[in-house]
Structure 1
């Protein structure tokens, strides 16, 4: 592979996404960029994912392995270790790449060794693949460059997970994904920017993120625990306590009229001196708003 056309390794860790996995894989093999190594790993699915993937493997010849469930971060680390590409794109098995995604990111990252991660914007689709037309704020975010403080302090819009393209060198430099923290996106972004790299986010849509009932973001306690543990690894930062309690207040507000028992647990972790407008709004929801029934 020439320096002008690096090999890109796309890693799809599949787990019980039978209804979506075929569209996901097809969106990778149909990329306009020709130099892609596709590694697909089924991480112990109990649905028909393996049969669906095997049919596509016979047609397109990508690398496919089946394993007992190990979890996403273990699976990603194993795949990165055997990848041949200098650029790595972990990709959710329920999401969809737009056709020129990889080509655009590779072209951008050429001659920018300071960029450890390139990302872009997303559009939201539902379980049937239909667009959420009202959700344009994720589509229209302008270009931004993020350093460590931008990510840690949430000073700029986060790079969406379905668009992340990593330099393998940067991943290896920071020791890869942390197997103890299964929600991997925030921590790897913090680690790579803390090592001195930038995250550059292109101001165009590169992928579609599928919203459905099994998204990991729907599991609020799991998400909160992972994010708090990620922040705690950088507790020496002078704004650590502010960042931690601001996040807790946001999640308290979100849960206050959805899961009141869990909301009270979150509130107990916020010292009164760090209460903000969201904390007070959450209190109003907790005690005065009707309980929201979630489907």
Structure 2
């Protein structure tokens, strides 16, 4: 019997240097039933030509649209696809060959899990290994776990979702660029667990254009995400966690911005981590 279909959607904006490696890593998967959709999100470089050349060779679906942002690009691929499982995958990252097989096997054995995450290896712009990736132990998390603890996350480089979980969660938030964190919370809030396996499944590229490293851009979007759950008893803790995360960098490299962040933390919500951030503000 043919295995369940897994849809992989690769949104691409100006990644002509990397998108071929990303596409070929999906094509090289050991899993036998993959539907690949590549969304060119208004690239102004040579990305579309690279994508089209590979499409002629391998026959996957290409969506060419004006630039709408990563969330709308992923959603466009989701709406044009049919796989029972769904993988949004950045166009500068690389899958290891048995990634899909391992994660589908896990989800088939754990029906309450809405998403399976894993570990990754950092690489530089030329594909050379970099240190620093946090190792995530095998675990199963509910909404409260991931909402209240900023250290718990699955992340776009390794997440594989059940399509039904995304539908039950209401689909993608089209106005938020942090679509991975938003969808993780939505799926968990819908009653699914978010599970992690310990395998390294992705090479996660680090370069100066990574959205995930821009805390000043990301913070307002992250705060908007958790605002949807402001009635949850863990809301204050979740908000404090996001502000602490931004303060970690701001107290060193942008002290005026750090002052504004401290003002967003009422004294009744301060803890020892807040005090450490304040000490670093004055000493680093």
TM range, smaller chain: over 0.9
SS of match in other structure, 1:161: coil
Runs (4+) off by over 6 Å: none
Cα gap change, 1:176/1:136 in structure 2, threshold over 3 Å: closer, same or farther?
A: closer
Counterpart Cα distance in 2 of 1:261 and 1:26:
45
Q: 1:74 aligns with which of 59, 72, 75?
A: 72
Residues 281 and 111 from structure 1, CA distance in 2 versus in 1: closer, same or farther, beyond 3 angstroms?
closer
Contact 1:249 1:276 in 2 (8 A): no
Contact 1:250–1:278 (8 Å) recurs in 2: no
Q: Structure 1 residue 155: deviation in Å? A: 7.5
1:156 positional shift: 6.3
Taking the aligned partners of 1:211 and 1:155, their CA distance within structure 2 comes to 21
**2:205 aligned to which of 193, 210, 217:** 210
Partner of residue 20, structure 1: 18
The secondary structure found in structure 1 opposite 2:201 is strand
Measured against aligned partners, the alpha-carbon deviations of 1:239-260 in whole angstroms (never above 9, x if no partner) come to 2112212321231132111112
In 1, Cα distance between equivalents of 2:132 and 2:221 = 26
Q: Unaligned stretches of 5+ in structure 1?
A: 290-295
Give ranges in structure 2 of 5+ residues lacking alignment.
none
* Cα deviation code 1:82-109 (max 9, x no counterpart): 2121111010111110000001111122
Q: Which of 215, 223, 227 pairs up with 1:228?
A: 223
Farther-moved stretch of structure 1 (206-215 vs 74-83)? 74-83
CA distance in 1, matches of 2:3, 2:193: 22
Distance 2:80 2:272 in 1: 48
- For the residue of structure 2 that corresponds to 1:228, the secondary structure is helix
State how many pairs are aligned: 284
TM-score (normalizing by structure 2): 0.95
Match of 1:45 among 38, 43, 47: 43
Aligned partners of 2:133 and 2:7: how far apart in 1? Answer: 30
